[in-house]
A and B are shown apart, each in its own frame.
Chain A
Amino acid sequence: MPRRGDDVTGSASPARFARRPLLKAAVLGRPDESDLSPITAFNGGLGPAERSLVYAVIGTILDVSPHILVLQTARGEQRFPLAASAEAWRGGAISPAALRQGDHAIVRRSLPGGPVVDRIWAEIGRVTGTIIERAGPARLLVDEGPAKGRRIVMIAPEATRRIQVRFPRLEPGYLLDVIGLKHDGFLKALIPATSQPPYRAGHAPAPPLVSGHIPDPVSGTAVWHEPGEEPESLLGLAYPALDPETSCEHGAFMPPSQAGDQYAVDPHATGPGCVRLPYLSLGSLLRLRNDCAGRTRLVPVTSCGATARLFCDRCVTCGTSRKGRIADLTMATFVELGGALEVGCFNATMMIGG
């Protein structure tokens, strides 16, 4: 029998997902079919994806001076003049000239498609999930969910107090969300990306009930994740509420077999999280607005973001957002929408169906 669902973890066909908005528009008779062009980003091919990104560029630093940044990108070697006010991050705010050759970097242009760069993040990474093992005061093993696997987090000595203030329970069974520097095989945690929920992972409070239809647009928190298996420059997001009948909930959750596994949480089994979102599928289009930067993009759902359901937090980047994570963006999309990676979130408004 042919596949009926979305094989999120296996050999899913991006072209099949990319065509869904068009087929939906055809059968429901939506008028704005011209809006569907950004779904070419879903193809995963670097060409179309690069064309979709007008602010963000991802690559490896070949050379950097106070005025010029040279990046090895998917398009080859590219030179970017640095704005006078350009800022860089590599474990903390540094001068752009202090960046290192060979660093993996994501940069933001000042103007869409323009040559000048005003923000650079080098070797930035993030781990979001459930602590399943603690070895010593600073080494944690974190489960990021069935789709992403496990990561090792080392808490930097200089960041210990800062992280423990926001994450007082660095114990197996509790949630962790930290930003830091990527190293070989682990993340050096430097910044708490949120405040630790007071409940154990998987015990998120029930969301408020909704009568009638789900409100559209939906407001909440947008966060970002590392690319993992996805193309780096993919314009897309991991959606927390994919259709349980045909999407990522079909991925089997491995029964406990290793030490610490009893603390791993299957986010699909923990209820809807603290925000009620309509069930969607891979390829669904969402119009996402960064309420802090006032920037809006049409973004396709490209992966399963069920881990976001475990967090019942708010973003306070500009005012206080509604509770709950509504979108887990790829790094490129987060930067494209004007987010600052080291902040970890922005207040977002999401319109379903574009």
Chain B
Amino acid sequence: MLTTLREVQIPLLAVLLLGSCAVRAWRTLSPRPGTAAGMGPTGLFPLRLRRPVMIIMYATELSLGLGLAVTAGRVGDVWLRVPATIVRMTTALFFLIAVGVLNEMRQRRPDSGCGCFGELSDTPIGLRTIARAALLAASAAATIGVPALRMPSSFAAAELWLAVLAFELVLIACLSPELGEILVRLGYSEPCELRRLPVGRTMSALYSSSQWRKYAAQLCTAEPADLWREGCWRFVVYPGIVRGRRVDIVFAVYLQAHRPAIRAAVLDAATDEILGRAEARESAVI
């Protein structure tokens, strides 16, 4: 069990390091490199040093990730496992330094994220982030002395290997503030409060509604006196006359593509007394 636990750390650390490196490299090559330049621990350095420091971090993560992967097999076992030991000790040292840097950032720049996985790591550094770095440092230390990895010898051994890997992934996920952001991105659909719908489509939906037909004869003008939006609703106000009284007829149109709900109210223009209110769900497509 303990041997399996130690073995699992090697591919896990390699994937994490290469993944982090890939995300950061993608951010640096994106059209807004300035955003990435100020993120994470580089923000602790003077401006002129930030880019070199970031490049050094990429190079270190890439080297360690590749080093762990390459030395996991027989390549790392030559010369009394010296290559594998050097790479794993360096990885442990890297994560130990990360613990110190994150703690320092938490004190000095409490508003900054760790930048570990680019924009996904925007959440201010908390104890969870530091604990994750500490866990990875311990994981890297645990790999020192592990012999070359081989395929599991039996089905039971493979099951144990996978179970340990799953447990550790869950543990890392619990310590990762990035997880919530990833889940949101996977299941995204634009909320109606943010949807941009042209006024013309709102008006089309209104004109084809039963609410409109009900009040159209009482309107004094063809164009609205006011038109505005709040969140998921767009409001349209027309002046009108009902039984000889000057009124304001207010329509509220829900901002959705199909069958928008439409409500209407009639207010006395002088006293603001509500004279009537109605609601309908329309079949119009806007």
Residues of B close to A281: CB separation below 8 A = 228-230
B122 on the A face (CB < 8 A): yes
Query: Given known contacts A23-B250, A198-B39, A214-B193, is B32 in contact with A203 (CB within 8 Å)?
Result: yes
A70 on the B face (CB < 8 A): no
Majority secondary structure, B binding face:
mixed
A123 on the B face (CB < 8 A): no
Most buried by A among B124, B230, B250, B272: B230
Tell me the bound Cα distance from A341 to B28 in angstroms. 37
What sequence of 0s and 1s flags, for each residue 1-44 of chain A, a beta carbon within 8 Å of any chain B beta carbon? Answer: 11011100000000010011011101111000000000000000
Q: Smallest distance from the beta carbon of B252 to chain A beta carbons, Å?
A: 4
Residues of B close to A206: CB separation below 8 A = 119
What sequence of 0s and 1s flags, for each residue 175-201 of chain B, a beta carbon within 8 Å of any chain A beta carbon? Answer: 000000100110111011110111100
Flag if A209 contacts B185 (CB, 8 Å). yes
Flag if B188 contacts A246 (CB, 8 Å). no
Flag if B229 contacts A314 (CB, 8 Å). no
A284 on the B face (CB < 8 A): yes
What is the size, in residues, of chain A's interface with B at 8 Å between Cβ atoms? Answer: 53
Residues of B close to A283: CB separation below 8 A = 228
Flag if B124 contacts A169 (CB, 8 Å). no
B43 on the A face (CB < 8 A): yes
Flag if A203 contacts B35 (CB, 8 Å). yes
Residues of A close to B122: CB separation below 8 A = 205, 208, 323
Give the contacting residue for B111; candidates A5, A27, A313; CB below 8 A: A313
B233 on the A face (CB < 8 A): yes
- A residues with CB within 8 A of B: 1-2, 4-6, 16, 19-20, 22-24, 26-29, 168-169, 195, 197-200, 203-206, 208-214, 243-246, 272, 276, 278-284, 313-314, 316, 320, 323, 352-353
- B residues with CB within 8 A of A: 32, 34-35, 37-39, 43, 46-47, 110-111, 119, 122, 124, 181, 184-185, 187-189, 191-194, 196-199, 221, 223-233, 235, 237, 248, 250-252, 263-265, 267, 272, 274, 277
| Apart from the given pairs A209-B188, A244-B196, A352-B230, 5 other A-B contacts in the complex at a CB distance below 8 Å | A5-B227, A23-B237, A211-B184, A276-B191, A279-B231
- Interface CB pairs A-B, < 8 A, 18: A20-B226, A23-B267, A24-B233, A26-B250, A27-B235, A27-B277, A28-B233, A29-B277, A200-B34, A203-B34, A209-B185, A209-B188, A210-B191, A243-B228, A245-B197, A246-B228, A314-B111, A314-B124
